[in-house]
Amino acid sequence: MSIFNNKKSSPELGFGNKNYNKNVRFINQDGRINVKRTGLGRLGNLDIYHWFITISLPKLILVIILGYTVMNFLFAGTYYLIGCENFGGLEMQTEMTKFMSLFFFSAQTLTTVGYGHVYPTGIAASSVSAIESLTGLLGFALATGILYGRFSRPKADLLYSKNALMAPYMGITGLMFRITNKMQYELIECEASVTISYNDPETKKREFDQLKLEISKINFLTLSWTIVHPIDDESPIKGWTLKDMEDRDMEMIILMKAINDTFSQTVYSRYSYKADEMIEKAKFKPLKQEATRNGRIVISVGDIHEYDAVQEV
């Protein structure tokens, strides 16, 4: 009897059961679902707000700076085409000096600073500057809203161990990984759900099996939490090796749920491990902890990835 035929009813995670010819990853290590939806055209599949909320902060800052610069160049070019004689206080020297003066006038108008050194005198120039000031008000309102949405969104900043281990556990083997809270706020009522996805060589379909955990819920994630699946007789991966997991393109999909005590809201975190991110015959090193003179416990979360090799599993 095949060791891969030990399955219960598969949970439906929403990824279907297609057996892909190539290796796939359903969840990236940054928690994003690794699915791209197409078929509606560029505009139909465009979600600008989600893109602004989810891109990295350096990319967001770069987009804002580029957008600000391009907008000022466009309006400065418009003013230049209208004619420099329609602006008072403009230094009539080289063409480059005129354009740069109009560029900085555009920046002052867009931000509604308005120093007054250069000012429009004609109807056309005044109309364009009025449009630009309105554009600036709306643009900065949108940028403020995006920044507020990013920083005010409750989230669970969990740090996952880089590897999942197959380590000795109560006389058998356990598949385990470790998490901790990176931030200073507290996460309470933490729950873990772990599912494996793999291609079944017999049914030629992708199967999903829920893994039974040693402990699936804790009250406080104050230090670290090693989440363990005992590989016993009821485990769907009993007898599996890393080679078996690689051959069947196995992925361990993790969903964490907790309450962020700062916002008093439920937050979620997703992560996954592929077979090449799992290590046999290893166990995690204990995290370094010490108590200060005032009784506060200090934990070094950077050690969460450390492990030692063991002789037998």
Q: Is residue 127 part of a domain?
A: yes
CB 82 within 8 A of CB 106: no
- Whole-number pLDDT of residue 31: 76
Task: Give tens-digit pLDDT for 88-112.
Answer: 888 767 888 889 999 999 999 999 8
Judgement on whether residues 131 and 250 belong to the same structural domain of the protein: no
Judgement on whether residues 184 and 303 belong to the same structural domain of the protein: yes
Q: Domains in the chain: how many in total?
A: 2
Judgement on whether residues 263 and 237 belong to the same structural domain of the protein: yes
Judgement on whether residues 102 and 192 belong to the same structural domain of the protein: no
Last residue of a domain, one of 92, 117, 152: 152
Span of 1-10, 26-35, 60-69 with lowest mean pLDDT: 1-10
Q: What is the 3-state secondary structure (H, E, C) of the chain?
A: CCHHHCCCCCCCCCCCCCCCCCCCCCECCCCCECCCCCCCHHHHCCCHHHHHHHCCHHHHHHHHHHHHHHHHHHHHHHHHHHCHHHEECCCCCCHHHHHHHHHHHHHHHHCCCCCCCCEECCHHHHHHHHHHHHHHHHHHHHHHHHHHHHHHCCCCCEEECCCEEEEEECCEEEEEEEEEECCCCCEEEEEEEEEEEEECCCCCCEEEEECCCCCCEEEECCCEEEEEEEECCCCCCCCCCHHHHHHCCCEEEEEEEEEECCCCEEEEEEEEEEHHHEEECEEECCCCEEECCCCCEEECHHHHHCEEECCCC
Last residue of a domain, one of 94, 126, 152: 152
Judgement on whether residues 113 and 159 belong to the same structural domain of the protein: no
Structure pTM?
0.74
- Look up the domain containing 102 and give its range: 43-152
Residue 8 pLDDT > 70: no
- Whole-number pLDDT of residue 9: 52
Judgement on whether residues 89 and 163 belong to the same structural domain of the protein: no
Q: Is residue 32 part of a domain?
A: no
Judgement on whether residues 59 and 168 belong to the same structural domain of the protein: no
Judgement on whether residues 161 and 299 belong to the same structural domain of the protein: yes
Judgement on whether residues 76 and 212 belong to the same structural domain of the protein: no
Judgement on whether residues 197 and 74 belong to the same structural domain of the protein: no
Judgement on whether residues 245 and 200 belong to the same structural domain of the protein: yes
Residue 7 pLDDT > 60: no
Last residue of a domain, one of 124, 152, 180: 152
Q: Is residue 13 part of a domain?
A: no
Task: Give tens-digit pLDDT for 143-160.
Answer: 898 888 888 877 778 999
Instruction: Give mean pLDDT, residues 274-299.
Output: 87
Of 87 and 24, more confident: 87
What is the overall mean pLDDT for the chain? 86
Task: Give tens-digit pLDDT for 67-82.
Answer: 999 999 999 999 999 9
Of 255 and 294, more confident: 255
Q: Is residue 56 part of a domain?
A: yes
Judgement on whether residues 102 and 246 belong to the same structural domain of the protein: no
